[in-house]
Structure 1
Amino acid sequence: MRRITCLCSALIIFVLVSHAEAWKHFWRGKWFHKKLESSSINTHFPPDQWFEQKLDHFDVVNSKNWKQRYHTNDTFFEGDGPVFLMIGGEGEASPKWMVQGMWIEWAKKFNALCFQLEHRYYGKSHPTKNMSTKNLKYLSSEQALADLAYFIEAKKKELKLSHNKWIVFGGSYPGSLAAWFRLKYPHLAHGAVASSAPLFAKINFKEYLGVVTNALETTQQSSQCTAAIEQATTALEDEIQSSSCCKTMEKLFSLCDPLDVTNKLDVANLFETLAGNFEGVVQYNKDNREFKGANITIDVLCDMMTDPKLGSPLARYAAVNNVLLGTTGEKCLDFKYDKFLKDMRSTDWNSSASEGGRQWTYQTCTEFGYYQSSDLEDQPFGKRFPIEFSIRQCSDIFGGKFNYKLLKNAVARTNFIYGGLGLKLDRTVFPNGSVDPWSALGITSNSTGNVAIFIQGTAHCADMYPPSLKDSLELTGARNVIESHLRSWISID
């Protein structure tokens, strides 16, 4: 699958992809695949519950409703404790979040009642009969925030929780939602933990590859790793421009189809996907997902890229690709742009696109951008996937009106209504990891009204995972700081 913001998006960070269809394993910074549940946890999960939600919160004439999925854990609640709400993101909400994760550890300490609300259009929360472009007009961060508001108001009344303090949690895009909910509905959220939250919408997120490059150079191999990647990229460029291309490359990289070097979109897709191999590992580096059967970190990748026993730099680049294909259960690398479009144009809830790719692409085309292009000068992955390649996908998937002009206006509007990096909030913390590429769009230093927690050496949403003996002192310290803020907020009368 190809590169997309969460889920950590907050709700797929306990899963691993296993998908052999025409999607690549990493798409614009997100994992979108069928989930493999961990067998290491033997416990009962709370059942699905359903909340009657409004289809359009901003049209009083529209009376249509739909059923939104949520989960509850009241095991620790003693009546006067706080209420914790985990915000769902761009993937299916896992009930595992109701029994593990740092927020559950804090729920135990503070006797909190816990809810998790799945984001509209993701997972099992289907507001419309399909995902047609016409129906996706009800998919937006603003509608999602209103969903949260109506849910909180209803639960306060139903369970007599009017005097309890509500704290919202989220990671990645849901982290942004947590901060934005505190901004837009301060009377409903007493505090917010906005982990790894990209708050500044940007069309050309070329800085993403800059953080990836810097992260790879923190390994023992340092710049030798990125130098080897650059050599591999140059060698691949030479190969596809040679008269003998492309049988060797097809075999070396386990391509699903013959490579037509005259098809610039296929070539762009291939280069972007190979870069995505490294992006995905950097973004979720050392994230404690040990049950996936392989502990692939940036150290492992750089060991491979600098190991002469694996052959030339190009052969090592291919070896990384094939190892990740095996880890994700894919038999070959699918790079065909027309296959990608066919999948992404699927509107049925039973299609592979419904796992989040189509919906999230729509949100990037209408709200956020966030496109990780190859336009940054000082990075080793080549120049084959410029910003124009990402922008054209909006029109190719959703139709001609979804063009650069619409995207430019949409991104400007998002930053206007939420404040971008000028956002100022009290009782909100912004944890980010130094290895996380998304930190480039987040709040990483303290300013008036904002509490930034910048965690050296950690990646995307690291503070949200269950604690481990392998956690660094920096990560443990950051969690302690978050906990101290929670204690302070909850104790305020």
Structure 2
Amino acid sequence: MALQFLFQFLSLLLLFTTIRLSATYPGSSTRFDTMRRRMTSKSNSHLPPEFVTYYYTQTLDHFNYKPESYATFQQKYIMNFKYWGGASTSSPIIVYIGEEAPLTFGVHGKGFIFYLASRFKAMLLYIEHRYYGDSMPFGSFDEAFRDANTLGFLSSTQALADCAQLITDVKRNLSAENCPVIAIGGSYGGMLASWLRLKYPHIATGALASSAPILYFDDLTPQNGYHVVVTNDFRDVSESCYNTIKQSWSEIDRVAGQTNGLTTLSNIFQTCSPLNSSKELKDHLGMIYVISAQNDNPPYNPVSKVCGAIDGAPKGTDILGKVAAGLNASLLRGGPEAQCNHIIDFTPKNTSGWTWQTCTEMVMPIGHGENDTMFQGSPFDLNNYTKSCQALFGATPKPHWITTEFGGHDIKSVLGNFSSNIIFSNGLRDPYSVGGLSRGLREHYPRILEQNIPDGFETFFYNQTIDHFNYRPESFTTFRQRYLIYSKHWGGGQAPILAFMGAEEPIDDDLKAIGFLTENSERLKALVVFMEHRYYGQSVPFGSRSEALNNTNNRGYFNSAQALADYAEILLHIKKTHDATYSPVIVVGGSYGGELATWFRLKYPHIALGALASSAPVLYYEDITPHNAYYSIVTKNYRDTSETCYQTILKSWAEIQRVGELPDGASILSRQFKTCTPLRNENELRDALAGMYASTSQYGRPPENPIEKFCSAVDRATACGNDGAISYCRVLKNISDNIIALPTVNGSHCLDIVKSNKTSDPDWLVQQRKTEVEIIEGWIAKYYADLKAINKWIPFKLQ
């Protein structure tokens, strides 16, 4: 197993205790002797020679002045000078903020910062978190974890003060006071990196916080968000896999309730030791699924492997047999040579540093209901949570401390007004991304680089009103509505605004397909805006799409009138924030979006100067247009292409009906048309074909020319008989200037900062890393400019 993956797994295993106060810290409990000297070099046989280990005499309590506050311990840190340009050139220092694991895992696992070091001639400094690895107060692990009195100094605020003091000392010793510091961390370490920049801006010039769930506290994030993402990851890979997992929980309970049921389950799942309860097995399986989703990175792709094994089980395999096959293919099986599955014991223990942290300050309210995910219901209960922590440590959680100390409800104000130079990167397939910062913070120009969003676009979210036309209490509910801005050619001032009206789909596809606005923006010196329709894409009210569409009360705000009012508010907001009060607005849309553009000009003439409505069927209502007009045009398009093709399609309906009425008709049609799933009746096929003919006609444009391709295949098949004449129809359908968010739709936990792989890294990942480097380069360049402004001479410039 690669060290990079081992690091990810151990980190995740620790974070799993946030979900269930139960995971045992996997690190060694070996006693470590503290170093007596203030700064002592020490070799590490597990690391390459360019990494040198040191120990710093760290203060135990930075925030009090009691006698015991002045006690010290030896904190481990590692330095790498291989690429450093030296203090005389003010070359940067990149600091890796250790998380809830021994530091060595971070050194091995984070390859991205090696590239940064070579790119920026930077020194690497790795700092181990107190109470982890070798950085143990009170002389030993046993003494440090003796009780709440000794564990009481384990906190994020103390850890941040450790970093501040150690970085300052290292810079002083190296005469590197003028060297800028960039803090980097992942997950909890990413949270620390962002908080270091927030709390100690005079020490950290900037921060890269990868997969940092800084908003998964209090009520900032839906409690079920984590497991909803896990569920979506599995469901996106395989619907049948998702259904199998969802059904398996009750089946495990059913079998466990039988005579010798636990023995039966032990045999089915090939456990190395007999199961003591069904919960033991379900906890283990649940961990398998969340580990697979959180680390669903190439080239391992564990979700696909688990689902591949579940779906690929031999025909006739029951639900538990399929789930057992998935377990055997999972990351924790240990490979094909493993003889059995070691079921991890999740009984809470008081020897885990992370469990202590989750029992005191890092209270993430993660839970889920009975039917909102693929997991068995397990809602978050603060009372039970508190009782567990009190039983373990005699400690009472402070669920509101993180938001009090670092912000949360007012995160926009905190980061937007009091901090800068922070990259929040999140892979949207990572379940912790729901608690991460996924948008910029300053309304004027927060920058969001999102996968599958064309270059030059910046994403914003407007706090939109759910009901513009009433004044009932629920009318004032708000949701986040997405819009994107392309300002490359904007002339500013009174230059025009071209606004695209999003329609009945996420705005992402429109950004790639619609070129009129951007292609003409230079000529018109225009600001281009793309607005997403409510209830689509990322502009979903009530917290989630499932909740938004859950009942008629929630769906009742889903209409064109509300959408037009949404667009009016967004456009007025943009004009205000961009000092564009007198800029004329031209609205543009296609199909339903074209109708919206037309109606917007009609209803809001004080906002829109004009409208371009492409293919807008504004008259296809009531009896204004003949009912058959749409399909008449479809028919004409096919007939103009090929009379033979037209005749074949015309005759096919009766033939489909005739075959469908046979005793085994649906099966015959399924084989004939090679459907991926068996047809239930001939009407399913007729509807699919009609939709395909309409789609190829409605979107029949060069160079694809789908009607010509289809009819050519039909005509060739007709010339040699009717077998497979319409089999070609199987092809039916082919997102602050300094507070920056980098969500990636396909990314996962800390993927952007782990070691790159030239053979398996997708293009979007390479581009994301390139973007992060460029942003960091800008911070450093600005730092040098600031130094020059105060007469600090820099004898070189960045290449």
Q: Distance in 2 between matches of 1:330 and 1:49?
A: 42
Distance 2:339 2:96 in 1: 32
Residue 382 (structure 1) aligned to one of 376, 386, 411 = 376
Instruction: Summarize deviations over 1:432-467 as a string: whole Å, max 9, x none.
Output: 001101111110112213210001211100000122
DSSP 3-state at the match of 2:76? strand
* 1:95 CA displacement: 6.9
- Cα distance 1:441–1:94, how it changes in 2: closer, same or farther (>3 A)? same
State the 1:385 CA deviation: 7.3
Q: Is the 8 A contact 1:432 1:439 kept in 2?
A: yes
Residue 189 of structure 2: aligned partner: 174
Give the structure 1 partner of residue 440 of structure 2. Answer: 446
Change (3 A) 1:84 1:17: closer
Does residue 15 of the first structure (1) align with residue 10 of the second (2)? no
CA 287–205 in structure 1, closer or farther in 2 if over 3 Å, else same: farther
Which one of the candidate residues 204, 209, 218 is aligned to 2:227? 209
Report if aligned partners of 1:85, 1:166 keep a CA contact under 8 Å in 2: yes
Given residue 276 of structure 1, which amino acid in structure 2 is its aligned partner? M
C-alpha distance in structure 1 between counterparts of 2:228 and 2:267, whole Å: 30
Structure 1 residue 68 and structure 2 residue 75: aligned? yes
Question: Are 1:210 and 1:379, in contact at CA under 8 Å, matched by a contact in 2?
Answer: yes
TM-score (norm 2): 0.51
The match for 1:396 is 391
2:767 matches 1:477: yes
Q: Distance in 2 between matches of 1:209 and 1:331?
A: 27
- Paired-residue identity, %: 26
Q: Which runs of 5+ in 1 are unaligned?
A: 1-10, 36-40, 261-265, 289-294, 347-357
Matched, 1:123 2:133: yes
- The structural deviation recorded for 1:96 is 6.7
What is the CA distance between 1:243 and its match in structure 2? Answer: 4.6
CA distance in 2, matches of 1:209, 1:419: 24
Report the equivalent of 1:58: 63
Q: Which has the larger radius of gyration?
A: 2
The one-letter amino acid paired with 1:132 is R
**C-alpha offsets along residues 370-418 of structure 1, whole Å, 9 cap, x if unaligned?**
354343632122126764765543233213xx3xxx32xx121111110
Q: Deviations over 1:76-115 (max 9, x none)?
A: 1112211110000000111772796111101111111110
Q: Does 1:246 align with 2:262?
A: yes
Q: 1:161 to 1:335 in 2, by over 3 A?
A: closer
* Cα deviations by residue, 1:248-270 (Å, 9 ceiling, x for unpaired): 1122223455545xxxxx54443
**1-side partners of 2:246 and 2:746: how far apart?**
24
Equivalence map 1:212-227=2 (5 Å):
212-219=230-237, 221=238, 223-227=239-243
Deviation digits for residues 326-348 of structure 1, max 9, x if unmatched? 318795444666xx34xx234xx
SS of equivalent residue, structure 1 residue 229: helix
The structure 2 residue matched to 1:280, chosen from 282, 291, 301, is: 291
The verdict on how the C-alpha distance between 1:202 and 1:287 changes in structure 2, with shifts beyond 3 A counting, is: farther
CA shift for structure 1 position 181: 0.7
Among 247, 253, 259, which residue is 1:231 paired with?
Answer: 247
| Residue correspondence of structure 1 range 429-444 to structure 2 within 5 A | 429-444=423-438
> What is the deviation of 1:26?
5.6
Distance 1:432 1:376, change over 3 A: farther
Contact 1:16 1:33 in 2 (8 A): no
Structure 2 residue corresponding to 1:153, chosen from 151, 161, 168: 168
Corresponding position: 1:105 with 2:105: no
Distance 2:304 2:105 in 1: 32
Distance 1:258-1:101 versus aligned 2 partners, 3 A rule: closer
Shift of 1:359: 0.4
Give 1:314's match in structure 2, choosing from 300, 320, 328. Answer: 320
| Residue-by-residue CA offset, 1:180-206 (whole Å, 9 max, x unaligned) | 011111111111101100102437843
SS, match of residue 152 in structure 2: helix
Residue 138 in 1 paired to residue 153 in 2?
Answer: yes
Query: How far, CA to CA, are the matches of 2:24 and 2:329 in structure 1?
Result: 17
Find the aligned partners of 1:247 and 1:231 in 2 and give their Cα distance.
Answer: 21
User: What's the offset of the Cα at 1:272?
Assistant: 2.4
In 2, the alpha carbon distance for the partners of 1:366 and 1:330 equals 40
Residues 4, 110 of structure 2: 8 Å contact kept: no
Q: Does the Cα contact within 8 Å between 1:66 and 1:126 map onto a contact in 2?
A: yes
User: Does the CA-based 8 Å contact 1:201-1:367 persist in structure 2?
Assistant: no
Pick one of 415, 419, 425 that aligns with 2:403: 415
Q: CA shift at 1:167, angstroms?
A: 0.7
Where does residue 488 of structure 1 map in the other structure?
Answer: 778
- Paired residues of 1:275 and 1:381 also in contact (CA < 8 A): yes
**Count of residues paired in the alignment:** 439
1:49 is aligned, of 47, 50, 54, to: 54
SS at 1:345's partner residue? coil
Q: Find the residue that maps to 2:183 and give its secondary structure.
A: strand
